[in-house]
Amino acid sequence: MRIKKKHQAGAAKNFITRTQAVKKLQLSLADFRRICIFKGIYPRAPRSAKKANKGSTAPTTFYYTKDIQYLLHEPVIQKFREHKIFARKLSRALGRGDVSDAKRLDENRPRYRLDKVVKERYPTLLDAIRDLDDALSMLFLFAAMPASDKVTARVTEDAEKLCSQWMAYVARERLLRKVFVSIKGVYYEAEIKGQEVVWLVPFKFPQNVPTDVDFRIMSTFLEFYTTLIQFVLYRLYTDAGIVYPPKIDSARAHGVGGISAYVIESKREKESLIDTSNAEKAAITESEMVSRAQTISTVLNKANNPAAEDKAEPVAVDGDDVDEEVTETLDKFTALPSTDKVISDIIPQPEDISPEDAIKSLLSPFTFYIGREVPLDIVELAIIAQGGAVISESVLDGYLHVDTDAVPEAEEVDFDARQREVDALLKKVTHQVCDRPALASKVPGRIYVQPQWIFDSLNRGRLMPVDEYAIGATLPPHLSPWGDGAGYDPEEVEKADEVEESEEEEEEEEEVEDEEDEVEETAEVEVEEEDEGEEDDALQHQRELEAEARGIMYSSTTSKKRKRGNEKPKKSVEQKQAEEEKELRKIMMTNKQKKLYNQMQYGIQKKETRKEALKTKRRKLEKNKQHKKRVL
Amino acid sequence: MEVNAPKQLSQSSRKGRRAWRKNVDISDIQEGLDKVREETIIHGTTLNSISSDQLFAVDTTVSKSALKKVGKKPLKVDEILAPSSAIPALVSRKRRIEDEAAALKKKYKVQGVTYKELGRLLPVAGRTADAKSSLANLETDSRIIKHMYDVWAEDGSVDAKTEDNDAKPPESRTKKNKDLLANAKEIRLFETTSHAKMQNRPSTITRPPIAFKESTKAVNEPIEGQSYNPSLESWQELLGQENAALEKVEKARLREEEHKERIERLQELLDERERLGLDEVDSDEEVEASPAVSTVEVKKEESLESATGAPPVPSTELDKTIIDLTRAKSKVRKHKLGKYAIMERPVAVKLSDELTDSLRLVKPEGNPAKDRFISLQERGIIESRVQVMPGRKYKKKVTEKWSYKDIK
């Protein structure tokens, strides 16, 4: 028999230390880290570090040998090596003072693309969307960063651009499902192609750049995610029939920026724009002037362009169609007007809109005027994703009070015309979003709300009562839509309650009959269990026969039987047994397992109590409601 | 501000030489000088030196913007910031020279390359003090793709639906490259490297990273108590949690401190006894420190425990769930991946006086960049590292200058 050598098989072969990997790939450590991030290769933990590291117990990072082997032929790595050579040549040229040579070298510098890496890591679009959380959060983080020596201005600009494109898409397609404003930033959840995408947007405050964060690593992630998100956006835009990349309204981008600066046009529009005659073009530019004053809703939909209108508002139109169809299929029973003799019942009708559609067009009839003190980026996205229109005070100010020095002489600004436009726009306003303790003057006909009203309405899927969110009112707490309900679904409970109530009624009816039986049965159960089953079966058979004779359906009897209360004592015996068994097992458990088990039980208990508390709260509320009704 | 000469005393007499010289009325001269000063502040020079056609112009046109401008009240900020004098501010000599040099740099080129371009090349080559070539590259090679196409198109070509002329396929799909690829297969046959190219992705690459936390989501579900306007219960719960965590840390610190103090005290006692010349054996008996439990021993005990407490054969569902749970638990890593432990999340909770119910008054907590970085570490995507500053290569040596020899 051959003697097996140590460290020749198993963990020693399967794992490779970082130093070994770097040597094998002939890269610098920085480049190795970058390629690992691009290709999605993570540090691993062997079960025994000692075995994996040939007997050494020094703290090291391990990787799978196969992963590293797979990297050997990566084209991006080849580019890294070429770049190293280029950097050496460039450095030499600059050191010698051959500046023109250096420039020539720089023009022909090796560049790499991450397209194939994206395709390889995410074989389908859905895979990419599933992993979008991280990408979006990273991009939004960099978009909010100040330009510094660690993050250049161009990087933040690019990130901001992509973020705005993303928000414009989510807003236009009305995909936003949840918003939560926390002290960390704003959490959003959108539903993209059936996938839930959650991302965190930091507040637009100047952040300080932390010193203990390695921004070389962060910017490498950003590099990869920038590529990824562009491909995703391209597909999403094309699937929605919109041109990618969207145009930017430069005038707006200069002022407020954000999603309001994006002019999204559908593909058909683009063609029609090319075909239109000069007169029509003039009309379009005029309409653009108008849209400049309004914010995204009109810009996105291009409502002023009649040729494109039918195409431009696909969501709204589709939604209406769906509603109509549903009303056709589902017959609605309307109550006849009740007379003195006949009192007609009003039957609650099924709601014909799914909750998601409800969110999509929750604010569709409204136009919001957003005060200058409200963070526009958060509110705007939430409103437009629910179908509302947005007019922002700060944008209007910029439109009306253009700095005449900045405008070239040739462009004479007609301020009176603008003022008239703005006045016409302001007439449409139904709601004003305001975040001040008090307002000096109110416009009659407008509803004044605080921004939280929009978020809570979106999260609940229905319009919240406005008076709770009025100016100066103490707001109700802003609850997380992800919540700590511990799996408590209020609607589900409602159904369960109904069932319980019906059960209770039945029980009450049958209790009188079965009382005697119960007493007997409970006595029997303890004495002889096995016989009891048989006896029960026989009894049931007898009952079934009787029922058949009377002409009652089999299913109804059995279901009743199951619900009947006389099974309760039997169950309790079983439970007792189970509990005893559990206790016994608990004794047998090791200390570690016992702790774990207790922990588990604690968690379950906590959830249950929370659920119970919510239930009782609900019952109380409902009772109060009923009581009130009766009083009235 | 107007500066007047000291007021003339009501001195009736100017008799005598001294009195004559002292009591001169110069107010008219003062006034004239003031006027000239004012003119120079407003116009740069005296009005006399400016020709009248420079001072006056006949406006024949009416511009609307000008009309509008007249009516517009300037902001207070602009008023404050506007220059109050037409005389240019004094510039230090050093600054003037620097500015001139900058202007020259803007104007001139080195071998046909502008200074700006040169400034961009230097960090790429790593020839600046804080050379970060990767960042410099990211700056120059923006990752914004100019010619977009669909990577996920099934036929591997440009999306047929788009039919955009500007959407070009990437390099590898051009015909020339396809030929090259075909040749590459032949070349591979005669390759001299010892290892063959891997054809398929290894299964190991798709395994999820080893996380330190149970939740491996990129964005964790938000904590209810961290709402900008939280409900009282959720906020109290969060506060309690954070408090408990902090208490634990504080207790550990106190324990350590106490331990240190005790050792110091004992050491002092020992020293004193030695000084007094007491018997060593006695001192040892009296100063009996509780036997320190070494980490090795603790580990031994733990390993023993684990050896005896091997998971039993699952007999019932309950046992199975427990064993499953232990297995699920073991997936979460407790120990560090490399040399260093992962960064700890800072406490993120508002105190009662910081709570607001207005979005306008909200102050964010924590640093988003740091949170993201910690999240990457927690999910096991990156290893934790500690920035190590390169130390001094050679030891500093102090010598005396030999300048005293120069006195000769």
Point out the least confidently predicted range of B209-218, B257-266, B327-336, B372-381.
B327-336
pLDDT at residue A307, as a whole number: 34
Residue A233 pLDDT = 95
Judged against a pLDDT cut of 70, whether residue A103 lies above it is answered with yes
pLDDT at B345: 87
User: Cα B218–B220–B222 angle (5° rounding)?
Assistant: 145
Angle between helices B133-140 and B115-124 (to 10 degrees): 130
Selected residue with higher pLDDT from A630 and A507: A630
Of the listed ranges A266-275, A362-371, B299-308, the one predicted with least confidence: A266-275
Q: % helix / strand / coil in chain A, to the nearest 5? A: 60, 10, 30
**What average pLDDT does the segment B397-404 reach?**
83
Give the per-residue pLDDT at A65: 94
Residue in A closest to B115 by C-alpha:
A99
CB B335 within 8 A of CB A175: no
Q: B205 to chain A: which residues are within 8 Å by CB?
A: 39-41, 64, 66-67, 70
Is residue A245 reached through a cis peptide bond, with omega within 30 degrees of 0 on the bond before it? yes
Q: H or E stretch including A188?
A: strand A185-192
pLDDT above 90 as % of chain A: 28
Task: Look at residue A560 and tell me whether its pLDDT is greater than 90.
Answer: no
Q: Which residues share a beta bridge with B109? A: B114
* Dihedral sign, Cα of residue A578, residue A579, residue A581, residue A582: positive
Q: Where are the alpha helices (DSSP H) in A475-590?
A: 490-527, 529-550, 554-563, 568-588
Instruction: For residue A205, give every residue at least 6 positions away whose Cβ sits within 8 Å of its Cβ, in sequence order, or none.
Output: B364
First to last CA, chain B: 63
Q: DSSP for A399-426? A: HHS--TTTS-TT----HHHHHHHHHHHH
Non-local (6+) Cβ contacts of A614 within 8 A are A485, A488, A490
Q: Tell whether the model's pLDDT for residue A298 goes beyond 50.
A: no
- Interface contact B227-A480, CB threshold 8 A: yes
Q: A146 versus A563: which is more confidently predicted?
A: A146
Number of separate helices (H) and strands (E) present in chain A: 28, 11
ipTM reported for the complex, 2 dp = 0.70
Indicate if the pLDDT at residue B396 is higher than 80: yes
Q: Among A315-329, B230-244, B309-323, where is mean pLDDT lowest?
A: A315-329
pLDDT above 80 (res A16): yes
User: How many whole angstroms separate alpha carbon A429 and alpha carbon A396?
Assistant: 13
Distance CA B263, CA B266 (A): 5
Q: Which residue has 């700060």 as its token pair?
A: A394
Average pLDDT for residues A351-373, to the nearest whole number? 78
Q: What is the mean pLDDT of residues B124-143?
A: 68
Q: Does A184 lie at the interface with B, CB-CB under 8 angstroms? A: yes
A208-228 pLDDT, tens digit each: 888 889 988 999 999 999 999
Supply φ then ψ for residue A241, to 5 degrees. 75, 35
Q: Which two three-digit tokens encode residue B353?
A: 């006086």
Q: Percent of chain B at pLDDT above 70?
A: 67
Residue owning tokens 């409103």: A383
Question: How far off is chain B from A200, nearest CA to CA, in Å?
Answer: 7
Residue A187 has pLDDT above 80, yes or no: yes
pTM of the model: 0.66
Mean pLDDT of chain A: 76
pLDDT at A359: 76
Residue B164: the pLDDT is 38
Nearest CA in chain B to A412: B65
How sure is the predictor about B371, in pLDDT bands with cuts at 50, 70 and 90? Answer: very high
| Cβ <8 Å between A67 and B133 | no
Chain A residues touching residue B383 (CB < 8 angstroms): 43, 61
Contacts of A286 (CB under 8 A, 6+ apart): none
Instruction: Decide if A216 and B137 are in contact by the 8 Å CB cutoff.
Output: no
- Residues A113-129 have a mean pLDDT of 93
Q: From A474, which residue of chain B is nearest by alpha-carbon distance? A: B357
Assess A96–B contact: CB distance below 8 Å, yes or no. no
In this complex, the residue of B127, B224, B360 whose CB is nearest that of residue A91 is B127
Q: What is the pLDDT of residue A293?
A: 36
Which residue's entry shows tokens 């049931």?
A: A540
Our measurement of the distance from residue B318's CA atom to the centroid of its chain's CA atoms, rounded to an integer in Å, reads: 51
A181–B127 CB contact, under 8 Å: no
Which one of A94, A184, A483 has the shortest CB-CB distance to B366?
Answer: A184
Between residues B290 and A205, which one has the greater pLDDT? Answer: A205
Nearest to B369 among A73, A210, A596 (CB): A210
pLDDT of B314: 47
The predicted model gives A332-349 an average pLDDT of 53
Task: Tell me the per-residue pLDDT of A46-74, one tens digit each, with 9 for 90 and over.
Answer: 988 899 998 898 889 999 999 999 999 88
Q: Which residues of B touch A161 (CB under 8 A)?
A: 144
- pLDDT category at B94 given cuts 50, 70, 90 is confident
pLDDT at res. B354: 86
Q: Tell me the sheet residues that pair with A199.
A: A188
> Taking 90 as the threshold, does the pLDDT of residue A190 lie above it?
yes
Question: Looking at CA atoms only, how far is residue B71 from chain A in angstroms?
Answer: 12
Q: Is the pLDDT of residue B180 over 80?
A: no
Contact status, residue A231 vs residue A120, Cβ threshold 8 Å: no
pLDDT for residue B116 = 80
Q: Identify the bridge partners of residue A354 per DSSP, sorted by sequence position.
A: none
pLDDT at A291: 38
For B162, nearest residue in chain A (alpha carbons): A238
Over 60: is that where the pLDDT of B303 sits? Answer: no
Q: Does the CB of A484 have a partner CB in chain B at under 8 Å?
A: yes
Residues A170-180 have pLDDT tens digits of: 988 899 999 99
The pLDDT, as a whole number, for residue A344 is 52
Range from A154-168, A169-183, A184-198, A503-517 carrying the lowest mean pLDDT:
A503-517
* pLDDT tens-place string over residues A387-423: 888 888 887 777 777 655 555 554 566 777 878 888 8
**CA B374 – CA B378 distance, rounded (Å):** 6
Contacts of B359 in chain A (CB under 8 A): 181, 374-375, 378, 435, 450-452
Nearest chain A residue (CA) to B339: A59
- In chain A, the percentage of residues whose pLDDT exceeds 70 is 68
Q: Which residue of B has its CA nearest to A18?
A: B338
Check CB contact under 8 Å for A238 and B350.
Answer: no
Can you tell me whether residue A74 is helix, strand or coil?
coil
- The yes-or-no verdict on residue B191 having pLDDT over 80 is no
A114: three-class secondary structure by DSSP: coil
At A196, list the tokens.
Answer: 């839930």
Residue A14: exposure state from Cβ atoms within 10 A (0-12, 13-18, ≥19): middle
Residue A519 phi, psi dihedral angles, 5° rounding: -60, -45
Give the model confidence (pLDDT) of A496-542 as tens digits.
555 444 444 444 444 444 444 444 444 444 444 444 555 566 677 77
Question: What is the rounded average pLDDT for all residues in chain B?
Answer: 76
Q: What is the mean pLDDT of residues B261-279?
A: 88
List, for residues A418-474, the tens digit of each pLDDT value: 788 888 888 889 999 999 888 888 888 899 999 999 999 998 888 889 988 999 888
Residue A452 CA to residue A439 CA, distance in Å, equals 17
CA closest to A131 among chain B residues: B218
Q: Which residues of B touch A221 (CB under 8 A)?
A: 376
Secondary structure class of A390 (helix, strand, coil): strand
A619 Cα distance to chain centroid: 31
Give the separation between CA B281 and CA A465, rounded to whole angstroms.
Answer: 84
pLDDT tens by residue, A225-254: 999 999 999 999 999 988 888 877 665 555
Distance CA A287, CA A299 (A): 10
Q: Is B229 in contact with A115 (Cβ distance < 8 A)?
A: no
The residue among A321, A293, A307 whose CA lies nearest residue A428 is A293
**Predicted confidence band at B11 (pLDDT cuts at 50, 70, 90)?**
low
Token output for A261: 């600066």
Task: Kindly give the pairing relationship between strand A447-449 and strand A431-433.
Answer: parallel
pLDDT in tens, A349-361: 545 556 667 778 8
- In SS3 terms, chain B reads as CCCCCCCCCCCCCCCCHHHHHHCCCCHHHHHHHHHHHHHHHHHCCCHHHCCHHHHCCCCCCCCHHHHHHHHCCCCHHHHHHCCCCCCCCCCCHHHHHHHHHHHHHHHCEECCEEHHHHHHHHHHCCCCCCCCHHHHHHHHCCCCCCCCCCCCCCCCCCCCCCCCCCCCCCHHHCHHHHHHHHHHHHHHHCCCCCCCCCCCCCHHHHCCCCCCCCCCCCCCCCCHHHECCCCHHHHHHHHHHHHHHHHHHHHHHHHHHHHHHHHHHHHHHHHHHHHHCCCHHHHHHHCCCCCCCCHHHHHHHHHHHHHHCCCCCCCCHHHHHHHHHHHHHHHCCCCCCCCCCCCCCCCCCCCHHHCCCCCCCCCCCCCHHHHHHHHHHHCCCCCCCCCCCCCCCCCCCCCCCHHHHHHC
Which amino acid does the sequence have at A474?
T
The two beta strands, B109-110 and A431-433, are unpaired
* Cβ contact B357–A124 (<8 Å): no
**A185–B364 C-beta distance less than 8 A:** yes
